Amino acid sequence: VLTWAETNYDFQILADGYQEKNQAEVAVPFNSQMTLNFDLEPLVTEFEPVILVPGIMGSWKVDGEWKLDPILRTYDNLWQAMKNAGYIEGETLFAFPYEWRQDNTLTAFQLKQKIDEVKSICNCSKVDIVGHSMGGLVARTYAESNYYDGDIDQLVFLGTPHKGSPKSYYTWEAGEGFDAPLEKIVKLYFSQEARTMGYSSLFEYIQNNIVSVEQLLPDYAYLQNLGETSFRVYDKNSYPNNYPYNTFLENLNLADKINQFAGSGIRIMNFIGDTGNNTINAIRLSSGEQYWPMWKHGYAEESIRLTGDGTVPEISSSLFIPTKIDNADHMALPTKAQKQVIEYLTSSLPALEITDVQEPEKIIVVRIFSPADFVIIAPNGERLGKDFLSGQAVNEINGAFYSGFDSDAEFAVIPDPLDGEYKIELKGTSQGEYKLSASLIDENNQADQEFSGSIASEQQRDFNINYSAVSENPLGELEPVDTVAPVVVISKPIEGEKYLHSNNLIVNYTATDDFSGVATTTITIDGQSVATTTIDLFDYILGQHSLVIQAIDKAGNQAQALINLEIIANIDSTISDIQEIYERGWLKGKLYKPLLISAFRLLDIEAKYFNKEQDLIEKLIKKTQDDRKLTDKQKQKLIEQYNKKLNNLKDNRARAIDRSLDIIEKLLNTAKRQNQLNQPGYDIIINDINYLRENL
């Protein structure tokens, strides 16, 4: 405090945790600087020990031990302010982080055990409690229990939902309502746990594992049918049709219990937040039948928002005479009420407000679904996750959180991330499928990126993901660092295989990639893309063709396999071609189709006759060669006669087939000349004829 007194100044030094220091009549020359040194003596105060009890989602396990909100550090400012005020950690300042999924009645008994432990440490008979949100309900449950030991002196409530919070309806009825940044993080974690535990939905997981959500449902009328002006009746006789019933709060708020609490001798201070008319106070519902088993008591169509702290309505938090903290939302209340809390507990108002920990504007959350662990490397080289060399957890990023690697639900949180490329390295813990997820969370939005693959024990997989705060899409894709091409294997057709023009070509192949996975596969024949693995060869000309299958993995590596095949014709396939040409309308009228088919069938009979005769002569030659009764000279003479006959037969066969094909070709030309056959149809049959001339 600086006061003007001619050329002299009076100084008063106030520092939290130290005795006040005054120095008067200090002469300061005009327009000059000077240094004053003060010896401050610690403030000697007998503090009653205080236990800080966090709310739902305000505790997390780190390396197997429960900690006060290590993710967003909701309580760090209040904790530091209390230390500055003279509280000593482990002597007069204690935390009670707990398993907030469980029944609050069980947590209340565990709080009693914590109080007993603290009393033993300080050798005192009473403690003070500061309970934030649901933590206040835990403290009340103990104070109203039949095992209460009269050992709470002062109880400070911070935004405690004494009569519940309508916001919990969304979470309990449908697994929704995760709006604030911490809630979005918790939803990701819940989803991960739900998957690990085999639940089909987040709703099913919450209904079976987080009874505390049900215990935050309001114990008063807050539901309204859409189109109606009055609320649904809230009483036990209407349960379970009108409301999801909260037996926990019903019992806690019984008149006898409240009277017991009021007469317990506990001194109460009830701080509540105020963010204006933005807190859900009531909900309008339509039928939720189509969503069953979700929305059992009605589908939330819209909310009615009135006064509160953004989470807890004022009608709920004000069960006891409230002291309002302006512009303090539910999660900021421990910070914004810190000076008033300390003043109430110690009768001394701190000079300074601790605001070292600010709520982050952006948060990156990385999750891994087993069997793998991960380490994140920030753009500046700082690491977060598991150090694969030492086998220990590492956290070099300021304000970041890592869950540890002892469970399948492994995740990390990075507040206010740096712009640039983040590297994520995975290492397999066993053989199996994994899913890596990265999410960007802020007050209004959430963007998610995922990558799934398989991994073996000790196998490493690396990813890059870019973050740019000014980009339209700040969080890039998870890009696998993959330099190995996919593997493509064609099992059908085989190299050099022949297929009739009338056949379908069935393509069987596999395209695999052992890391990033196959992104695309394409099939081409002679460079032209094919959309199916069943290919009608009618659309291709006779002769040699190249089938190519190309695969590209998600990292852009390419691989291909090539098979050469040949398309051929026989009489039956040619008749099939005529049928197809006719069905496509390329061959018109009723004259030429039967004429052409009949001509080819006669050709088939003719060819089979010659084939039979040729087969007979070849058998005679073979029989003569094997006849032991004949001399070599006799064999030679007979075989020469048979070969001469065979050659004559082949010549006659060739001339006969050529004559027949000439007749068919003339018939074909006539059909084309008369516009009964178009060019594509003509070309197909001519190619068949030319192939038959050479190969029939």
Read off the pLDDT of residues 592-636 as tens digits, 9 standing for 90 and up. 999 999 999 999 999 999 999 999 999 999 999 998 888 889 889
Q: Which helix (H) or strand (E) covers residue 671, if one does?
A: helix 632-673
Span 192-200, average pLDDT: 86
| 86, 90, 277, 323, 360 from 157: Cα distances, Å | 21, 22, 21, 10, 25
Mean pLDDT confidence for 155-176:
97
Question: Within a domain: residue 279?
Answer: no
Cis bond before residue 313 (omega within 30° of 0): no
CB 95 within 8 A of CB 26: no
- Would you say residue 19 has pLDDT above 60? no
**Are the beta carbons of 660 and 571 closer than 8 angstroms?**
no
Q: Is 510 helix (H, G, I), strand (E, B) or coil?
A: strand
d(CA 106, CA 114) in angstroms, rounded, equals 13
| 20 has pLDDT over 70 | no
Q: Are residues 613 and 531 in the same domain?
A: no
C-alpha radius of gyration, the chain, whole number = 43
The mean pLDDT of the chain is 91
| 534 and 611 together in one domain | no
Contact 570, 500 (CB under 8 A): yes
Residue 577 — φ and ψ, nearest 5°? -65, -40
Above 90 in pLDDT, residue 418? Answer: yes
Q: Are 623 and 684 found together in one domain?
A: yes
What confidence score (pLDDT) does residue 409 get? 73
Q: What is the pLDDT of residue 14?
A: 61
Residue 571's pLDDT is what?
96
- Supply the pLDDT for residue 287: 93
DSSP element (H, E) containing 576: helix 571-583
pLDDT at 521 over 60: yes
What's the pLDDT score for residue 2? Answer: 40
* CATH number, domain with residue 597: 1.10.132
CA–CA distance, 185 with 181 (Å, rounded to integer): 6
Quick check: 6 pLDDT over 50?
Answer: no
| Residue 238: predicted pLDDT | 67
The arithmetic mean of pLDDT across residues 361-374, rounded, is 92
Q: How confident is the model at residue 454 (pLDDT cuts 50, 70, 90)?
A: confident
Task: Count Cα neighbours of 686 within 13 Å in the Cβ-side half-sphere.
Answer: 13
Q: Distances from the Cα of 206 to the Cαs of 101, 172, 193, in angstroms?
A: 9, 7, 10
- 22-41 per-position pLDDT tens digit: 665 566 555 556 666 666 65
Written as one letter, the residue type at 217 is L
Q: Are residues 579 and 690 in the same domain?
A: yes
Alpha-carbon distance 133 to 148, whole Å? 21
Looking at 568, 600, 618, the residue that finishes a domain is 568
The residue ranking higher by pLDDT, 87 or 642, is 87
Residues 476-494, mean pLDDT to the nearest whole number: 93
- 604 and 690 in a single domain? The answer is yes
Low-confidence winner among 179-193, 281-295, 413-427 (lowest mean pLDDT): 179-193
**pLDDT class of 191 with cuts at 50, 70, 90:** confident
What is residue 48's DSSP assignment?
P
CA distances from 19 to 11, 23, 37, 485 (A): 14, 13, 15, 72
What single DSSP character describes residue 556? Answer: S
Q: Name the domain boundary from 535, 568, 601.
A: 568
Q: Is the pLDDT of residue 63 over 90?
A: no
Confidence of residue 300 (pLDDT cuts 50, 70, 90): very high
If 0-12 CB within 10 Å is exposed, 13-18 middle and 19+ buried, where does residue 1 land? exposed
Alpha-carbon torsion 85, 86, 89, 94, what sign?
negative
Q: Which is nearest to 68 in space by CA: 53, 90, 80?
A: 53
Could you list the residue range(s) of the whole structural domain that residue 425 is in? Answer: 362-480
State the amino acid at position 220 in one-letter form: Y
| 196 lies in some domain | no
Residue 224: which pLDDT band, with cuts at 50, 70 and 90? very high
Structure-token pair, residue 115: 């109080």
Please give the pLDDT value at position 554.
85
Structural domain ending residue among the three candidates 447, 480, 513: 480
For 456, the token pair is: 């073996």
Q: Is 533 contained in some domain?
A: yes
Residue 54 lies in a domain: no
pLDDT of residue 44: 47
Q: Which residue has the tokens 């540890």?
A: 404
Please report, to the nearest 10 degrees, the dihedral formed by the alpha carbons of residues 640, 644, 645, 647 taken in order: 130
Both 375 and 476 in a single domain? yes
- Give the C-alpha distances (Å, rounded to integers) separating 645 from 196, 637, 663, 694: 83, 13, 27, 22
Task: Tell whether 594 and 643 lie within a shared domain.
Answer: yes
| Residue found under tokens 């064609």 | 490
Burial of 199-224, coded b for 16+ CB within 10 Å and e otherwise, reads beebbbbbbebbbbbbbbbbbbbbbb
5, 10, 33, 34, 274 from 30: Cα distances, Å:
13, 16, 9, 11, 48
- Among 381, 397, 395, 390, smallest CA distance to 427 is for 390
Cis peptide before 360 (omega within 30 of 0): no
Cis peptide preceding 417, ω within 30 of 0: no
Q: Which of 639, 592, 597 is nearest to 618 (CA)?
A: 639
**H or E element in which residue 191 lies:** helix 181-196
Same domain for 672 and 586? yes
- At a CB cut-off of 8 Å and minimum separation 6, what does 438 contact? 364, 365, 366, 367, 424, 448, 449, 450, 465, 475, 478
Determine what percent of the chain is predicted with pLDDT higher than 70.
Answer: 93
Using CA atoms, how far apart are residues 223 and 216, in angstroms rounded to an integer? 15
Interatomic CA distance for residues 409 and 514, integer angstroms: 24
Q: Is residue 321 part of a domain?
A: no
Cα–Cα distances in Å, from 550 out to 480, 490, 506, 507?
20, 11, 17, 13
Residues 458, 551 within the same domain: no
φ, ψ for residue 323 (rounded to 5)? -115, 115
End-to-end Cα, the chain, rounded Å: 115
494 in the same domain as 386: no
Q: Based on the structure, what is the number of domains in the chain?
A: 3
Predicted confidence band of residue 483 (pLDDT cuts 50, 70, 90): confident
Cα 561 to Cα 549: distance, rounded to the nearest angstrom:
5
Which pLDDT value is given to residue 27? Answer: 61
* CATH number (domain holding residue 505): 2.60.40.10
Q: In this predicted model, what pLDDT tens digit does every residue of 661-689 receive, in sequence order? A: 999 999 999 999 999 999 999 999 999 99
Structure tokens belonging to residue 412: 């990390």
Structure tokens at 629: 């009764």
Q: What is the pTM of this model?
A: 0.71
Same domain, 495 and 524: yes
- Indicate whether 329 pLDDT > 60: yes
Measured CA to CA, the distance from residue 239 to residue 233 in angstroms comes to 10
Q: What is the DSSP letter of 42?
A: B
Residue 586 domain flag: yes
Nearest to 625 by CA among 635, 616, 633: 635
Per the CB < 8 A criterion, the answer to whether 76 and 360 are in contact is no
Q: Which residue has the higher pLDDT, 208 or 554?
A: 208
Q: Does a structural domain hold residue 311?
A: no
Quickly state the pLDDT bin for 86 (edges 50, 70, 90).
very high
Residue 282 forms part of a structural domain: no
- Least confident span in 271-280, 452-461, 531-540: 452-461
Residues 564 and 586 in one domain: no
Cβ-based burial of 614 (10 A; exposed 0-12, middle 13-18, buried ≥19)? middle
**Mean pLDDT, rounded, for 146-171:** 97
